[in-house]
Amino acid sequence: MKKISTLFLVTFLFLTGCKEGSKKSYLPESIGAYNTLTVVIDNELWKGDVGDNIRGHFAAPAPGLSWDEAQFTITQIPPQIFSGSVRNTRAVLYVMEDSLNIAHMKKDMYAKPQLVGVIKGRNKKEIIENLNKKAPEFITDFKELELAEAQKRFLKSLSKEKALQEKLGISLDLPSIYKVGREEDNFVWIDRQIQKGNMNIIAYSVPWDTFSNDSTFVQDIVKMRDSIGKMFIPGEDIPGKDNHMITEKAFSPYVFPAEVSGRKAAEVRGRWEMSAYPMAGPFLTYIINDKPNNRKLVLEGFTFAPATRKRDYMFELEAILKTVRFIEP
């Protein structure tokens, strides 16, 4: 009788555990457009200093664009209506006045993939202190989540183009809508048409010792880009003038340390223009240390879309460039 009771108890616990486990493991797919952030916060807090602080961090202008565009599009809702499908939003920031003073990130609470940044404080001062401390980390995490989601969607329909592999020994997860427009021994130009213009990716390499002086690094980047533009990226024919892509003269590009495909890199964000014609737009360049091949690999995305917001176009290009893989000989 004792053995039967023990067996019954073990079976009961096993089935209960399976039931609870399956309940926890089932989560709906998260929803939301790229680079959108749902901020769950009381209306009163949102209208005051706390809301101003949130907007200052998460709606700050994205660097390198033609005009100011917030890095995240924010939707604010009060906690009492944060229910149903709204909870399945991919990126969520939950801010509230509470008896606890905490700030942390939670993963896949209501959907997957999902990140919920939680900021609580016993008063407005503590909430703002937690926001100032955690916002940079949260922004990085939200952005990585968005990039990963975009890259996952690319896999549904990939280009079969081989130019990058044949000319530069690399591959990208490139959506099939992109087409190779020009290829040389050490240069590949790929683009796609959009409603009011085009999105472009160029790839080439330069010698390993191209950037030998840290004090002139930014100037050397500009010289490199301008020389490539002169050789490969012509503009409208202007009688008596050499019209080609250059780095916009009025603004110095932003340069950040980065890591791409496990290799050290420089991330460059700025604006391009044509040397003799009124055309311009944003660009994003990665200069990647490729020591095994004794070179610097340069990947760049740039957009031409006059009178159009370009944040999400540049986001797509960034997501593509970050899928680069080096093909071993």
**Residue range 257-316, pLDDT digits in tens:** 999 999 999 999 999 999 999 999 999 999 999 999 999 999 999 999 999 999 999 999
Q: Is residue 1 one of the residues assigned to a domain?
A: no
Q: Is residue 176 one of the residues assigned to a domain?
A: yes
Asked if 139 and 192 sit in the same domain, the reply is no
Average pLDDT, the chain: 92
Asked if 127 and 229 sit in the same domain, the reply is no
**What's residue 327's pLDDT?**
92
Structural domains counted in the chain: 2
Of the candidates 117, 134, 154, which is a domain's last residue?
154
Of the candidates 108, 136, 154, which is a domain's last residue?
154
pLDDT bracket for residue 13 (50, 70, 90): very low
d(CA 146, CA 36): 9
Instruction: Give me the phi and psi of 317, to 5 degrees please.
Output: -60, -40
For residue range 66-109, list pLDDT tens digits in order. Answer: 889 999 999 999 999 999 999 999 999 999 999 999 999 999 99
Of the candidates 105, 134, 154, which is a domain's last residue?
154
CATH number at residue 148: 3.30.379
Instruction: Give me the phi and psi of 128, to 5 degrees please.
Output: -65, -40
pLDDT beyond 60 at 7 = no
Q: Is residue 119 one of the residues assigned to a domain?
A: yes
Asked if 199 and 125 sit in the same domain, the reply is no
Task: Give the pairing type, strands 254-260 and 179-184.
Answer: unpaired
For residue range 221-247, list pLDDT tens digits in order. Answer: 999 999 999 999 998 888 888 899 999
- The mean per-residue pLDDT over the stretch 126-152 comes to 98
Full residue range of the structural domain in which residue 90 is found: 36-154
Residue 84, token pair as written in the block: 């149903």
Task: Give the pairing type, strands 179-184 and 91-97.
Answer: unpaired
**What's residue 236's pLDDT?**
84
Asked if 226 and 105 sit in the same domain, the reply is no
Asked if 173 and 124 sit in the same domain, the reply is no
